[in-house]
Amino acid sequence: MKLSELSRRIVATVVGVEDCTPNDAIARRLRELGFVAGEAVEVMAAGPLGAEPLLVQVGYTRFALRRAEAERVRIRVGESA
């Protein structure tokens, strides 16, 4: 499942971040921010227009992500870190 498909206030576990191209800078940055395998993640809120951006909490830190960025993060629901 992708992070962009996760319902609000459901805790999931990051499986990994997909690279769309070789040396994908966005995927690399997401991993640097803490979107790594085994980390707990939760969608806290979504913006009013087109539900974008998403307010996402990974660990104890919150980030605003575009849906296109959240689609790169693979998750598993029902298992928290």
Say if residue 36 is exposed, middle or buried (CB neighbours under 10 Å; 0-12, 13-18, 19+): middle
Q: Mind listing the pLDDT tens digit for each residue in 47-63? A: 998 789 999 999 899 99
Which pLDDT band holds residue 40 (cuts at 50, 70, 90)? very high
What sign results for the dihedral spanned by CA atoms 33, 35, 37, 40?
Answer: positive
| Domain coverage including residue 55 | 3-77
For residue 4, the model assigns a pLDDT of 95
Prediction pTM value: 0.89
Cβ neighbors of 81 (< 8 A, separation 6 or more) are 13, 38, 39, 40
Task: Report the domain count for the chain.
Answer: 1
Q: In CATH, what number is assigned to the domain containing residue 18?
A: 2.30.30.90
